[in-house]
């Protein structure tokens, strides 16, 4: 060891001394002895290694307390970090889909902090199961006889099939054997549920007679799957749920439907693309209809099944229901969300998903114009910043061909280099509250449809 390196080693403060230093007292108060000591051990090792390899001290040795706090902060950062979703997709699966209504937030908080009557009835009437109160509400909203709630719509599909068709055949159109993403494919779910898939029709066209011919002794169900994430155009034919329900009635075979998104309100009345409504399918005679809680409904992640009492009873008593059941927080949020639908006149204010989806292009453009000057001033050295019209997506498997006109702030590199866009996107992702945009067409776009906290965003972007 040279005398130079040994003098560097002797400059490393002992951990004991650091822990007694005044600068470390607030750190110890915030994070506790064991975490701080753990970090200090790592730092001591790193410092020794640097001395060994490059005969210098790391720069951070000037302030051990500061480095310790910075390491602790990055270690204790939550895995679920709040971000600005300016991606242009409202129901973004990777960003957690629907934002919850205030009423749902309040209901969850209460259910978390206090014992609740989850499976306990105060009047001794015997509620039966934890979905009871919600089921009554869902019946009121959809006209169904009963309902069942599980963890998500994928679980709903699995439970519907397992409880009503295990060991039997389920008839599905070839055009509806969809993959939803995350390895959820209808044929695979069928197999997991113990059902035998009987495909009918062709990819682009399926007729009522195809279903009729496929029904035999062993047929348990006719199934419709909403092709939510793609569209077949051109020479196509699909059998409507109403027609299929009539056929099922005639042949004595129940018809079930996986709606995916499913909306309890007629979205076309709000100027949005029409999505199928569970109540319309129930009215048409479909026996079971499933849809997601956190897609267009705007509630928590959940799978909702509404339909005929006898079939729902089979779902409720199937062993898988116990494995797939929703927890009290989900049920609390879902109930509060559904209650908002009892007062549809105020939904565009009370339900964040609908509030964001129904923002007008004019309103979003005004917002873009308002934010523009400050951003131009901040970024002019490297980028031209413009307010531009854009098209947002609903997301989460609502028809990808339906777009919502809005406005975005578009950042174009002055030198035309694409690497500048990636660098900017990366910089924004590293902000205390990361800003998520979208790169296309040689620009980085911040779609403002989902921007409600304007001041907070500007604080981030003007740093
Ligand atoms: C989204 C979707 C699912 C899965 O729903 P999750 O709530 O995400 O589990 C299933 N089927 C269809 C048609 C869907 O669109």
User: For the domain that residue 451 is a member of, what is the CATH number?
Assistant: 3.90.1150.110
Give the count of domains, the chain: 3
Provide the pLDDT for residue 224.
96
| Average pLDDT along the chain | 94
20 contact partners, CB below 8 Å, separation of at least 6: none
Provide the pLDDT for residue 216.
96
- The residue among 348, 381, 413 that closes a domain is 348
Per-residue pLDDT of 379-423, as tens digits, reads 999 999 999 999 999 988 666 668 999 999 999 999 999 999 999
Using CB atoms within 10 Å of the CB of residue 184, give its burial: 0 to 12 exposed, 13 to 18 middle, 19+ buried: middle
**Residue 77, Cα to own-chain centre: how many angstroms?**
21
Which tokens hold the place of 290? 């499933």
The response to whether residue 258 sits with its C-beta less than 6 Å from ligand 1 reads yes
Closest ligand 1 atom to Cα of 302: 7
Q: Are residues 52 and 110 in the same domain?
A: no
The response to whether residue 228 sits with its C-beta less than 6 Å from ligand 1 reads yes
Whether pTM > 0.75 for this model: the answer is yes
Per-residue pLDDT of 359-375, as tens digits, reads 999 999 999 999 999 99
| Residue 403, strand partner residues | 393
The response to whether residue 224 sits with its C-beta less than 6 Å from ligand 1 reads no
* Residue with CA nearest ligand 1 atom 5: 153
The response to whether residue 225 sits with its C-beta less than 6 Å from ligand 1 reads yes
> Which of the 8 DSSP states describes residue 149?
E
Closest ligand 1 atom to Cα of 261: 15
Q: Are residues 111 and 224 in the same domain?
A: yes
Going by pLDDT thresholds of 50, 70 and 90, the confidence category of residue 3 is confident
Best residue for ligand 1 mutational test, from 151, 158, 180 (most atoms within 8 Å of Cβ):
180
Q: Are residues 389 and 335 in the same domain?
A: no
Q: Are residues 282 and 150 in the same domain?
A: yes
> Which of the 8 DSSP states describes residue 272?
S
| Residue 443, strand partner residues | 440
Which tokens hold the place of 298? 């705007």
Q: Are residues 340 and 371 in the same domain?
A: no
- The residue among 291, 313, 348 that closes a domain is 348
Using CB atoms within 10 Å of the CB of residue 106, give its burial: 0 to 12 exposed, 13 to 18 middle, 19+ buried: middle
Q: Are residues 38 and 132 in the same domain?
A: no
Best CA proximity match to 216, nearest among 252, 188, 163: 252
Interstrand relation of 84-85 and 179-181 (parallel, antiparallel or unpaired):
unpaired
Q: Are residues 165 and 296 in the same domain?
A: yes
Provide the pLDDT for residue 5.
82
User: What's 341's domain CATH number?
Assistant: 3.40.640.10
Provide the pLDDT for residue 231.
73
The CA 56 to ligand 1 mean position distance, Å, reads: 56
pLDDT at 159 over 90: yes
Residue range(s) defining the domain that contains residue 194 = 102-348
Closest ligand 1 atom to Cα of 397: 15
Q: Are residues 322 and 364 in the same domain?
A: no
Provide the pLDDT for residue 400.
61
Which tokens hold the place of 288? 């079971």
Q: Are residues 444 and 417 in the same domain?
A: yes
pLDDT at 307 over 80: yes
* Residue with CA nearest ligand 1 atom 8: 153
* pLDDT (average), residues 317-342: 97
pLDDT at 2 over 80: no
The CA 262 to ligand 1 mean position distance, Å, reads: 10
Q: Are residues 441 and 369 in the same domain?
A: yes
The response to whether residue 190 sits with its C-beta less than 6 Å from ligand 1 reads no
- The residue among 348, 381, 401 that closes a domain is 348
Which residue did the predictor score with more confidence, 341 or 133? 341
The response to whether residue 260 sits with its C-beta less than 6 Å from ligand 1 reads yes
Percentage, residues of the chain above pLDDT 70? 97
CA-CA distances (angstroms) from residue 54 to 62, 215, 236?
17, 77, 70
Q: Are residues 42 and 156 in the same domain?
A: no
> Which of the 8 DSSP states describes residue 327?
P
* pLDDT (average), residues 247-269: 95
d(CA 343, CA 324): 30
Which tokens hold the place of 38? 């753990």
Asked whether 100 and 299 are in contact (CB, 8 A), the reply is: yes
pLDDT at 1 over 80: no
* pLDDT (average), residues 94-105: 97
pLDDT at 297 over 70: yes
pLDDT at 332 over 80: yes
Going by pLDDT thresholds of 50, 70 and 90, the confidence category of residue 127 is low
The CA 106 to ligand 1 mean position distance, Å, reads: 27
Q: Are residues 304 and 172 in the same domain?
A: yes
The response to whether residue 92 sits with its C-beta less than 6 Å from ligand 1 reads no
Best residue for ligand 1 mutational test, from 152, 295, 396, 397 (most atoms within 8 Å of Cβ):
397
The response to whether residue 298 sits with its C-beta less than 6 Å from ligand 1 reads no
The response to whether residue 159 sits with its C-beta less than 6 Å from ligand 1 reads no
């Amino acid at each position: 060891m040279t005398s130079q390196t040994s003098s560097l080693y002797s400059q490393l403060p002992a951990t004991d001394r650091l822990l007694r230093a005044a600068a470390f007292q607030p750190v110890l108060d915030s994070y506790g002895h064991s975490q701080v000591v753990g970090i200090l051990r790592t730092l001591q090792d790193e410092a020794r290694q640097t001395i060994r390899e490059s005969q210098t001290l790391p720069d951070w040795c000037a302030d051990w307390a500061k480095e310790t706090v910075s390491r602790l902060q990055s270690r204790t950062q939550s895995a679920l970090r709040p971000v600005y979703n300016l991606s242009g997709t409202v129901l973004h699966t990777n960003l957690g889909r629907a934002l919850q209504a205030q009423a749902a937030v309040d209901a969850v908080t209460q259910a978390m902090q206090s014992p609740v009557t989850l499976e306990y009835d105060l009047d001794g009437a015997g509620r039966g199961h934890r979905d009871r109160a919600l089921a009554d509400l869902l019946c009121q909203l959809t006209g169904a006889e009963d309902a069942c709630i599980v963890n998500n719509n994928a679980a709903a599909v699995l439970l519907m099939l397992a409880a009503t068709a295990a060991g039997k055949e389920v008839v599905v159109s070839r055009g509806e054997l969809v993959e939803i993403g995350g390895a959820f494919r209808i044929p695979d779910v069928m197999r997991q549920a113990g059902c035998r898939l009987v495909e009918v029709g062709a990819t682009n066209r399926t007729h009522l007679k195809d279903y009729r011919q496929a029904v035999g002794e062993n047929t348990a169900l006719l199934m419709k799957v909403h092709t939510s994430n793609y569209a077949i155009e051109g020479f196509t034919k699909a059998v409507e749920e109403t027609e299929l329900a009539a056929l099922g009635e005639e042949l004595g075979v129940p018809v079930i439907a996986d709606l995916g998104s499913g909306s309890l309100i007629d979205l076309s009345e709000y100027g949005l693309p029409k999505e199928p409504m569970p109540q319309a399918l129930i009215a048409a005679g479909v026996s079971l209809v499933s849809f997601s809680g956190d897609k267009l409904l705007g509630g928590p992640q959940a799978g909702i099944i509404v339909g005929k009492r006898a079939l729902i009873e089979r779902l409720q008593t199937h062993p898988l229901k116990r494995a797939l059941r929703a927890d009290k927080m989900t049920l609390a949020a879902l109930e509060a969300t559904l209650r908002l639908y009892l007062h549809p006149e105020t939904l565009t204010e009370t339900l964040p998903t609908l509030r964001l989806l129904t923002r007008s292009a004019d309103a979003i453009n005004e917002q873009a114009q308002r934010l523009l000057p400050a951003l131009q001033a901040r970024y002019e050295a490297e980028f031209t910043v413009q307010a531009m019209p854009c098209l947002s997506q609903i997301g989460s498997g609502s028809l990808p061909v339906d777009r919502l006109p809005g406005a975005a702030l578009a950042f174009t590199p002055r030198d035309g280099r694409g690497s500048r866009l990636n660098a900017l996107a990366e910089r924004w992702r590293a902000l205390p509250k990361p800003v998520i945009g979208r790169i296309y067409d040689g620009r980085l776009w911040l779609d403002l449809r989902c921007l409600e906290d304007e001041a907070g965003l500007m604080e981030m972007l003007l740093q």
